[in-house]
Amino acid sequence: MRAVLQRVKEASVTVDGAVVGAIGPGLLVLLGVGKGDTDADVDFMVDKVPGLRIFEDEAGKMNRALVDGSKALLAVSQFTLFADTKKGRRPSFIDAMPPDEARRLYAAFCEKCRAAGLTVAEGVFAADMKVALVNDGPVTILLDSRAR
């Protein structure tokens, strides 16, 4: 699994003109599921994302995590994180997990984050989504479960 984490002041996802998910301060998580990913990759992400100390404490240092305060997570499925651009000009998505299994692992990530006590908003899997955000920092972190 690959994830792009963006610390945000607010973020939302719109599908067909309707807001389907929105948060105030927290993390926007663009989550890609790749071929070969399993529940162990979900567990890695759920262990890592809520505890990353990327929010400022009273001294202005990045010392607080999502689980340390009243912050939320907005999860958006993003198969394009597995784009292969080595050849030509058109990306190949051959390394992305087929939709049915990717949907299951994406849903498992969201549910396990909720079970960990996080407030989780979601986009709509495989929909044409419009994502709006106000970056905080900006702070953007890349995670890859295969790099553990």
User: What's the token pair of residue 7?
Assistant: 């610390």
Stated pTM of the model: 0.95
User: What's the token pair of residue 116?
Assistant: 């960990």
SS3 of residue 6 by DSSP: strand
Annotated catalytic sites, by residue? 78-80
> Measured between alpha carbons, how far is 96 from 98 in angstroms, rounded to an integer?
6
**Residue where the block lists tokens 């953007």:** 140
Q: At what angle do helices 39-48 and 99-115 cross, to 10 degrees?
A: 40
pLDDT in tens, 49-67: 999 999 999 999 999 999 8
User: What's the token pair of residue 118?
Assistant: 């996080």
Architecture of the CATH domain 2-141: 3-Layer(bba) Sandwich (3.50)
pLDDT in tens, 19-34: 999 999 999 999 999 9
> How many angstroms separate the Cα of 12 from the Cα of each of 96, 116, 129, 139?
24, 22, 10, 17
